[in-house]
Each structure stands twice: as C-alpha cells, then as structure tokens.
C-alpha cells in the first residue's frame, strides 16, 4: 500500500465526520433528515473514496477511475458547500431568507463545479522571456509539471498534453517535466506514457514526491518506453545548456553532495536545475545555477486554497528574478497540468509555459 493510499485511508474517518455534519445542516435548511439516513449517505461516500482507490492500486479500470473522479468532484463541492452554508446561516441570523434565495445560493456551487471542471481540463500555453548574459544561442523550453497521471488524470489528459506538445515541435527545442508525472492513485504500466513518444522534441523528466508512490521503477520503465530522458540526480548538456535534475521525495533518498552541484555549474555558460518544489532557490543561485524550474504547489489549484498557497509558498507561481553579484538568476514555478485528487481549477491554469531564453543585448 502506497504512502498516498495510507494517507487517504487515515483521513477517511475525519472526512466522514465532516461529511456527516455538512449534510446534516444542509438537510436542516430543507426541513431536516433522520441522522441514520445521513449516516448511510456518509458511509456511501466513504466507500466511494476508499474502494475504487484500493482497486486502482492493483489494476486501473474505467469504472473505478470514473468513481474516483466523482469522489474528487464531491470533495471540492463539499468545501464550497461549507463556505456557502456558513454564509447562509450567518445571513439567517439577521434576515429571514426565503427558500428560493437559499436554493439560488446553494445552486452557485454546482454551477461553479461545471466551470472548475472545464477549466481544469483546458491546457493553456503561455510564454515568458528570460534574458541571460552567457547564453550560447536562443532556446525555447517548454516547462511543465504535476501531470499527476493516475485515477483522475489519466490517458485522456496525457493524450491532450501530447497533442499540445506536438504543435510546439517546430518552435520549441526541449520539454522539461519538473516532477509528479505520476500521481500514486493508480498503478503505472510501462505503456502508460506512450502518447509522449510521438513528441519530436527531447523530453527531460526529474521525479517529484508523487512519482515514488506507485513505485519509482514503474515510472522509470514507462518513461524509458516513451523515450523520456530521466535525470535522477544526474546532469546532461543540451545545446550548451548545463542541466541538473535534482530528485525530490518525502521518503529518505541519498542526499546530493554539494560538490556534485558545484561541478554541474559552468561558469562560462548557463546552468539550469530541475527541482520539484519551489524551494532552495537562494542556495541554488549561490551554487551558480542561472535557472530553477519547479512546480509542486499547483498555484493552490483553486480558491480559497490559492490564498493559503500564496502564504505557504514564498514562490507559489510565476517567474521570479534576482541578481547574485553580476549574474541573473531565475526561478519559474508552473501551476502544473493536472492536479492532486480533484479535477477542478479556479484561479489557476492547467498550463504549458514556453520559456524563451534570450541573450542579453
């Protein structure tokens, strides 16, 4: 059983309590429902959460994927209903709300759900310019992360991603996936990433924490079959660009010696580090890395979590720039392609970002 599965199962009783009181007070708005019936609904939601997940760990099926997606939508809706109902109950303390007004206020949640679901599955292409002194030649890098291939984001998402990347083959030089290509919500088979094999550009991938949950070797095997270059605490050179893939995991993995990072940096050229979380930028800049590519935060993925993510992560999303002596250092944090557990986005984009590396004139 993976770390992710254990985490979800441990949280299930707490979520059952949350669901019980959420539904209880929702039904009170319409006259109330016997607590035993409410409890039966809550048990059904818990089964919807846990049973498909356990099956997906062994073998992914369309039906269990569908149930996992329904559950993910409900988790999002339950949070929105909580906010909505707090607002309704506060209003009721001051004014007498007609039933039609209550229904309208509650209807906002499913309407938002339609928008959130649609927006989460629409991949947007953005462009940003990075000006660098020691660049040998102009490069266009497609930066993405957090595909979260699994029960919720699966072959449909990967096929759509591959189609977007194929359209960039003629204008971009390289694709970099900064972690969490897999999710851990389902097993990974060696053919799962094959749609990406059709992309003509080289694709580089460095693991993030979620890639370890379905078994990192399973992820690596699927990458190799799709001709994806894996940089697992390794370096390579691409058209004069020094690239180091710094693997990130919550579990214990051998640390990278600082000398390895120093040796990667080329004082005469541009050095880039791939590191899944948007952290340690200051340290990597001091080592001499000119660019850091990260993801992990999803930008918060949807409101109101976006507000908390902006506080939790110093560099939550976007392009950041700082000067170390006479050198310029960039950090780019993408909001990702997929998402964790919930097929919903609001206030952030499912994105591919073309980073245009240009020599300072």
CATH number of the structural domain spanning residue 328? 3.60.21.10
Residue 76 and residue 44 share a domain: yes
Note whether 112 and 150 are same-domain residues: no
Same domain, 71 and 173: no
Do 102 and 225 lie in one domain? The reply is no
Cα separations in angstroms, 155 against 99, 141, 145: 43, 24, 16
| Structure token pair of residue 140 | 């266009």
* Distance set, CA 257 to CA 38, 231, 247, 261, 291 (Å): 55, 16, 13, 7, 19
Cα-flanking dihedrals φ and ψ of residue 166, to 5°? -65, -30
pLDDT of residue 11: 85
76 contacts: CB under 8 Å, gap ≥ 6: 113, 116, 302, 342, 344
Question: 20 near 40, Cβ under 8 Å?
Answer: no
Q: How many domains does the chain have?
A: 2
Where does a domain end: 87, 119, 151?
119
Considering the entire predicted model, what is its pTM?
0.93
Same domain, 146 and 93: no
Q: Both 135 and 233 in a single domain? A: yes
Contacts of 49 (CB under 8 A, 6+ apart): 8, 12, 15, 71
Residues 165 and 106 placed together within one structural domain of the fold = no
At 252 the pLDDT is 67
- Do both 113 and 132 map to the same domain? no
Q: What is the pLDDT of residue 327?
A: 81
- Domain boundary residue among 85, 119, 153? 119
Predicted pLDDT of residue 1? 66
Please write the tens of the pLDDT for every residue from 113-169. Answer: 999 999 999 999 999 999 998 888 899 999 999 999 999 999 999 999 999 999 999
Residues 67 and 189 in one domain: no
Q: The domain containing residue 321 runs over which residues?
A: 124-359
Same domain, 200 and 332: yes
pLDDT tens, 259-272?
Answer: 788 878 866 789 99
**In terms of domains, do 79 and 159 share one?**
no
Q: How far apart are CA 168 and CA 112, in angstroms?
A: 32
* pLDDT lower than 70: segments of the chain: 1-2, 252, 266-267
Give the domain-ending residue among 61, 85, 119: 119
Domain co-membership, 130 together with 99: no
């Amino acid at each position: 059983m993976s770390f992710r599965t254990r985490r979800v199962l441990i949280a299930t009783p707490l979520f059952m309590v949350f669901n019980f009181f959420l539904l209880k007070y929702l039904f009170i708005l319409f006259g109330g429902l016997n607590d035993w019936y409410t409890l039966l609904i809550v048990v059904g939601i818990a089964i919807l959460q846990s049973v498909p997940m356990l099956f997906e760990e062994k073998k992914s099926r369309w039906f269990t994927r569908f149930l996992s997606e329904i559950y993910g939508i409900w988790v999002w809706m339950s949070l929105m209903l909580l906010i909505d109902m707090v607002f309704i109950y506060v209003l009721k303390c001051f004014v007498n709300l007609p039933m039609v007004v209550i229904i309208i206020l509650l209807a906002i949640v499913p309407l938002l759900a339609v928008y959130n679901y649609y927006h989460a599955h629409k991949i947007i292409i953005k462009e940003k310019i990075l000006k660098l002194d020691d660049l040998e030649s102009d490069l266009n890098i497609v930066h993405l992360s957090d595909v979260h291939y699994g029960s919720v984001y699966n072959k449909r998402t990967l096929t759509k991603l591959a189609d977007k990347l194929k359209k960039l083959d003629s204008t971009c030089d390289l694709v970099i996936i900064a972690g969490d290509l897999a999710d851990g919500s389902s097993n990974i088979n060696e053919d799962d990433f094959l749609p990406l094999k059709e992309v003509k550009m080289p694709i580089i991938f460095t693991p993030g924490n979620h890639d370890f949950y379905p078994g990192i070797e399973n992820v690596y095997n699927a990458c190799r079959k799709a001709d994806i270059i894996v940089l697992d605490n390794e370096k390579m050179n691409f058209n004069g660009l020094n690239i180091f893939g710094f693997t990130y995991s919550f579990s214990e993995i051998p640390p990278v010696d600082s000398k390895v990072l120093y040796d990667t940096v080329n004082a005469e050229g541009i050095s880039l580090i791939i590191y899944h979380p948007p952290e340690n930028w200051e340290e990597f800049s001091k080592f001499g890395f000119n660019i850091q590519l990260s993801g992990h935060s999803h930008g918060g993925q949807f409101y109101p979590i976006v507000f908390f993510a902006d506080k939790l992560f110093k560099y939550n999303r976007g392009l950041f720039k700082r000067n170390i002596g006479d050198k310029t250092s960039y950090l780019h944090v993408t909001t990702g392609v997929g998402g964790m557990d919930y097929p919903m986005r609001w206030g952030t984009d499912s994105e591919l970002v073309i980073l245009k590396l240009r020599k300072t004139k």
